[in-house]
Chain A
């Protein structure tokens, strides 16, 4: 049993090697859908990073009317802090706001001049709130909308980032979906091409197959060789893809990190390397097996 498996693999491999040109072309075509699936996998990492980064920057600021006392504000702060979805609340007093502004714009003469023309401190005291996650901001906003705070609250500044995050989210989902559809189409194409290669191999070797039959080779002994051929195409394609995706992650790492600080593509890649390899391996195996199955069922009549 084991020797017969070994022999089938050996003969399939030999057939493939002696038809080298076709094999190379076929392996390349099979690599395309595998690479697509892999890049979707990598893209997920990048987009997750971008969303995380933006989420860290998202916040809500509540500005209080002039006449609100600091004690009242601190009481609101306490109320908000008690909401479980809230991560962090920072109090910025009128004076602190003025200080921050002058610090930030001390080089701009016009701004400083217009500030000096306003008598007193034009800034409002505020609370800066960071929630746990993106979806939690709605809750914070509605909390601040309650009747009891109406008199104090001047305005709630909902940062715009939510829509940006949503955009990235949808974009990623869209790209993944398109990528998957594309991968499916290309996968189908590569099955067709492999199927055709094996079909040609079967037709080309029709005489050979007839001879193999005449010396008593069983159906599966012969069929196995073609099966192995398709499988080897898929596996070799997977191995090449693995090398390519590893290479790209390694090579693109530094330039990506400069663009998005804190994103280490290579580390992410290494963390998921097993999954990645399995993914490519599985895609290759499935593509190879399907094509040889169809081809041998159709063209290798007993």
Chain B
């Protein structure tokens, strides 16, 4: 069914091709059911018929109680998990039909801050960040030039040569943020990126996300931190038990 306004257009101007606006990312009726083997293949419904799109340059917060399915949603986008049903479109293409090369490209275009950081344990902070740059093929000169800058932004200059095990929780989180942003990805996926930060750093990181968003980067933030969501005054998608219960522009955190 075409939109009303478009039908009006057609009456006025004759046949016009309708181009559906392409979202940057689109979740189409996504369902994810985990099977817990140790519990006799008990089924856990993490996501239950989720549909929403994220436009280029948008800043979207996905909120919900612990266990609502936020991380699962991110995992599906990064193809860490396969959906039980539905599809995920990236620039109008079904990512689950991607060839390995396209999968790699998708992952390079999406900078992710993982809830559990996922820093490479055998590499220092600098090496961790450099790894992503090496993967996308940055030159050595770029690596030498950019890493000190990002470390300064997240205030980790003093921990550049530390291994992840030698970092505090907040420092590791900031290292993970630096790694996610270093190569200026089109989309930033940040899963509870301030969960381990003190209020001072939390504010700093939020400002950083807002700044890169202003520069055109699409940001998707998952959080259950009421305060920061309300401060953002951006679109909020609220999940509850795997379903979208609210999707509001300039939304507030309410459960």
Query: A and B, one complex?
Result: yes
* Chain A residues close to B by CB (< 8 Å): 3-4, 7, 11, 14-15, 18, 205, 207-208, 210-219, 221, 302
Write the chain A residue with the least CB distance to B121. Answer: A208
Q: Is the CB of B135 within 8 A of A215?
A: yes
Contacts A4-B137, A7-B134 hold; do A214 and B100 have CB atoms under 8 A apart? Answer: no
* Chain B residues close to A by CB (< 8 Å): 78, 80, 100-101, 104-108, 112, 114, 118-123, 127, 131-132, 134-137, 139-140, 179
Q: Which of A14, A205, A214 contacts B80 (CB 8 A)?
A: A214
**Chain B binding site: helix, strand, loop or mixed by DSSP?**
helix
Write the chain A residue with the least CB distance to B134. Answer: A7
In the complex, 22 of the A-B residue pairs with CB atoms within 8 angstroms, ordered by the A residue number, are A3-B139, A4-B134, A7-B134, A14-B122, A14-B123, A211-B119, A212-B120, A212-B131, A212-B135, A214-B107, A215-B107, A215-B112, A215-B132, A215-B135, A216-B104, A216-B105, A216-B136, A217-B135, A218-B101, A218-B135, A219-B100, A302-B100
Write the chain B residue with the least CB distance to A19. Answer: B122
CB contacts (< 8 Å) of A302 on chain B: these are: 100
Q: Is the CB of B120 within 8 A of A218?
A: no
CA of A3 to CA of B133 in the docked complex: distance in angstroms?
12
Q: Which of A207, A210, A212, A214 contacts B112 (CB 8 A)?
A: A214
CA of A11 to CA of B122 in the docked complex: distance in angstroms?
11
CB contacts (< 8 Å) of B100 on chain A: these are: 218-219, 302
Q: Nearest 6 pairs between A and B by C-beta?
A: A216-B107, A216-B108, A216-B104, A217-B135, A211-B118, A7-B134
Write the chain A residue with the least CB distance to B109. Answer: A216
Q: Is the CB of B78 within 8 A of A214?
A: yes
- CB B166 to nearest CB in A, in angstroms, measures 14
Write the chain A residue with the least CB distance to B119. Answer: A211
CA of A15 to CA of B100 in the docked complex: distance in angstroms?
25
CB contacts (< 8 Å) of A218 on chain B: these are: 100-101, 104, 135
CB contacts (< 8 Å) of B105 on chain A: these are: 216
Q: Which of B112, B121, B140 contacts A3 (CB 8 A)?
A: B140
CA of A214 to CA of B185 in the docked complex: distance in angstroms?
14
Write the chain B residue with the least CB distance to A6. Answer: B140
CB contacts (< 8 Å) of B118 on chain A: these are: 211, 214
- CB B150 to nearest CB in A, in angstroms, measures 15
- CB B235 to nearest CB in A, in angstroms, measures 26
Q: Which of B107, B122, B137, B140 contacts A15 (CB 8 A)?
A: B122
Q: Is the CB of A211 within 8 A of B120?
A: yes
CA of A11 to CA of B100 in the docked complex: distance in angstroms?
22
Write the chain A residue with the least CB distance to B135. Answer: A217
Q: Is the CB of B104 within 8 A of A208?
A: no
CB contacts (< 8 Å) of A4 on chain B: these are: 134, 137
CB contacts (< 8 Å) of B101 on chain A: these are: 218
CA of A60 to CA of B116 in the docked complex: distance in angstroms?
89
CA of A214 to CA of B180 in the docked complex: distance in angstroms?
11
CA of A14 to CA of B123 in the docked complex: distance in angstroms?
9
CB contacts (< 8 Å) of A14 on chain B: these are: 122-123, 127
CB contacts (< 8 Å) of A11 on chain B: these are: 134
CA of A212 to CA of B121 in the docked complex: distance in angstroms?
11
CA of A219 to CA of B127 in the docked complex: distance in angstroms?
20
Q: Is the CB of B122 within 8 A of A18?
A: yes
CB contacts (< 8 Å) of B78 on chain A: these are: 214
